[in-house]
Chain A
């Protein structure tokens, strides 16, 4: 028997877990949506996703080599960033765009701060924001109609208010037309027809399955929810952030998002359309950039929800998930500082 026992501080056993396990859990959860994106937008989607991942991994490895720190590109975190970045761009963009986005995300969004664990902002979202600022046209128009669906999820009956846009953009447009006193009666009638179509069971079904236009990985509610259920089951994410986020958006859009006054918004539509589900379950929950305290998580989720709703209602873009989460990332240290849980047996200091 050896006389060399290892001496170290307790505890002496650990749960079988690691960053790698958590990150690959997220990758696994994203697989259904990857498969879905290929089904909806063709091999082009797969190509963009692969390029994005490759760029993320290589950037991580090269920079770590240059910094002279251990190369951890295999820990899965760069892979997650690569997939999420690709998920957040339109499927019709040129091939180099996800590459540029990923390089930016990893280099500026993550490695500049010291690598995994130290980045204040979600790298994938930062990469996307960079692309949106640099190539706004491609990033807001390079949509492709989905296999088995149309761009907006509607079969438009000769209506010309909408030509090319994602469901959220259409919703925004018709709501504006209906609410605008300068609209002609003809326009309003048309808009109402489109509105009715948007809320039809067919349109909702399209949103649910993902047969609509949108960013590569954001359209299929069902596939994203399957992955989310897996993540929750594995305790890789917890419920507070996604549920408060989604609930806030759904309530605010129901109250304020309708064309004919308060409480006329379509809550289900706003839950399913756009990037809310992807954002709430996969990006707002990014561990590094969200609060660690239970109360802080709720504030974070509600904050994301309020910002997303405000952008959807009056912002410059029809969708605001990415910017909302980034803004709340910035607020995370502040939230954590002010939401420290009450210690066991802690009593309020009197006087």
Chain B
């Protein structure tokens, strides 16, 4: 792509590089005005293409509805999903076609649709289940077909009984899908905890859901799959919750991917003067932003604003070994001990007692009376661990070579 190129909605502007990646599509029609590096919600600057809209919203010729969806096979469905640029919309943004192509050694017998909102404050999935239950269900059914799987569960927390009802009413006949109301607890929406809650299967430490025959997909992803298969539309928009006390009128939007957060905020009634923190995602696992000039990306489930009274900036105190973090950890780790190892950079030991099993859910840091920066240390520790692994790999390469 170069400056001056004309694009339409759905025109491919970035090709997938390798199996674990997906193409990017233009989300509006117009003209490319810049190609370069711009601030990214996940931190730092990344390659981006700026498109100036022509106000026409005309769609690419490649976007055509299909009427033969019922006759498509698994392979064809997965190809459509890949070409539509679909990734997990729960937040991790992992390419969906990869999840739908497990190796033969890992037979999948159950698919779970994750309707347990991952974090407090966010309501994107809830709204989607209320407003588009039939399409979400159909998308889910397509995912099951792509996996050749007969059994499906929709897990929804029991504080959203309206969504439970709406989704139950939308179950296609003879589909083998069941909707289950789950206990309200954090982090119910985390994959491993969700699988445990619904199926009583424990994903082995260091393993993936497919190790226990399960694939988990998010509600938003299911809708994207439905639209890709039936309407032929690539992933060019998603639901984003804009919320927090400083927000004029907190709402859910379905902006085009690439919309600036700043303009979403305008739509949501603007901000009061005192905003201390802007978070892409939820309060427990989201990423703090330093500017509103970042685009909506595929993995952005919400933008949360916190006022000065809502954040705790007091410095940490020494750990008093109260064990609250231990009792709160859904992965049954010893956060206080891992933190101590990371702080002295005893990374081997930290990994041995579960550093890499930490899902960074934030529960431990949330309950810590000493405000230890536990998750911060774990992220740092994981980074060090990855570096060590890289070095070790290089070393053994060299040894082989010599």
Which residues from chain A sit less than 8 Å from chain B, CB to CB?
1-3, 5-15, 17-19, 21-22, 72, 75, 114-118, 235, 238, 287-294, 297, 336, 340-347
Cβ A12 vs Cβ B306 within 8 A: yes
Q: Which 8 A-B pairs have the closest CB atoms?
A: A11-B362, A117-B318, A9-B376, A292-B323, A287-B322, A7-B288, A344-B331, A17-B369
Q: What are 29 contact pairs spanning A and B, CB under 8 A?
A: A2-B273, A5-B278, A5-B289, A9-B373, A10-B283, A12-B277, A12-B283, A13-B310, A14-B371, A17-B368, A18-B314, A22-B322, A116-B320, A117-B319, A289-B321, A290-B321, A292-B321, A292-B334, A292-B336, A343-B332, A343-B357, A344-B192, A344-B330, A344-B331, A344-B332, A344-B357, A345-B204, A345-B207, A347-B205
Q: For the complex, what is the distance from the CA of A17 to the CA of B364, rounded to whole Å?
A: 13
Q: Is B353 an interface residue (CB 8 A)?
A: yes
Cβ A14 vs Cβ B366 within 8 A: yes
Q: Is B333 an interface residue (CB 8 A)?
A: yes
Q: Is B291 an interface residue (CB 8 A)?
A: yes
Cβ B375 vs Cβ A345 within 8 A: no
Chain B nearest CB, measured from A227 CB (Å): 18
Cβ A12 vs Cβ B279 within 8 A: yes
Q: CB-nearest residue of chain B relative to A13? A: B283
Q: For the complex, what is the distance from the CA of A14 to the CA of B271, rounded to whole Å?
A: 23
Chain A residues within an 8 Å CB radius of B145 = none
Q: CB-nearest residue of chain A relative to B314? A: A18
Q: For the complex, what is the distance from the CA of A294 to the CA of B328, rounded to whole Å?
A: 12
Interface size class of B (residues with CB under 8 A): 35 or more
Cβ B365 vs Cβ A293 within 8 A: no
* With A7-B289, A10-B360, A294-B327 already in contact, 9 other A-B pairs whose C-beta atoms are closer than 8 Å: A6-B288, A11-B284, A11-B362, A13-B306, A19-B370, A292-B326, A341-B333, A342-B332, A344-B196
In this complex, which of A9, A12, A238, A292 has the most chain B Cβ atoms within 10 angstroms of its Cβ? Answer: A12
Cβ A343 vs Cβ B366 within 8 A: no
Cβ A14 vs Cβ B365 within 8 A: yes
Set A12, A14, A341: member contacting B288, Cβ < 8 A? A12
Set A7, A118, A294, A344: member contacting B205, Cβ < 8 A? A344
Chain A nearest CB, measured from B204 CB (Å): 5
Cβ B284 vs Cβ A17 within 8 A: no
Task: Give chain B's interface secondary structure class.
Answer: loop
CB-defined interface of B290-324 with A at 8 Å, one 1/0 digit per residue? 11000000000000101000111110011111111
Cβ B326 vs Cβ A1 within 8 A: no
Cβ A8 vs Cβ B376 within 8 A: yes
Cβ B284 vs Cβ A10 within 8 A: yes
Q: CB-nearest residue of chain A relative to B362? A: A11
Chain A residues within an 8 Å CB radius of B99 = none
Set A19, A336, A344: member contacting B317, Cβ < 8 A? A19
Chain A residues within an 8 Å CB radius of B289 = 5, 7
Q: Is B354 an interface residue (CB 8 A)?
A: yes
Q: Is B286 an interface residue (CB 8 A)?
A: yes
Cβ B285 vs Cβ A10 within 8 A: yes
Q: For the complex, what is the distance from the CA of A118 to the CA of B370, rounded to whole Å?
A: 13
Q: Is B275 an interface residue (CB 8 A)?
A: yes
Cβ B205 vs Cβ A343 within 8 A: yes
Q: For the complex, what is the distance from the CA of A107 to the CA of B367, rounded to whole Å?
A: 30
Q: For the complex, what is the distance from the CA of A235 to the CA of B324, rounded to whole Å?
A: 9
Chain B residues within an 8 Å CB radius of A114 = 318
Q: For the complex, what is the distance from the CA of A340 to the CA of B207, rounded to whole Å?
A: 20
In this complex, which of A9, A297, A341 has the most chain B Cβ atoms within 10 angstroms of its Cβ? Answer: A9
Q: Is B337 an interface residue (CB 8 A)?
A: yes
Q: Is B168 an interface residue (CB 8 A)?
A: no
* Beta-carbon contacts under 8 Å, B109-158 to A: none
Cβ B375 vs Cβ A11 within 8 A: yes
Cβ A11 vs Cβ B202 within 8 A: no
Cβ A11 vs Cβ B365 within 8 A: yes
Q: Is B263 an interface residue (CB 8 A)?
A: no
Chain A nearest CB, measured from B238 CB (Å): 21
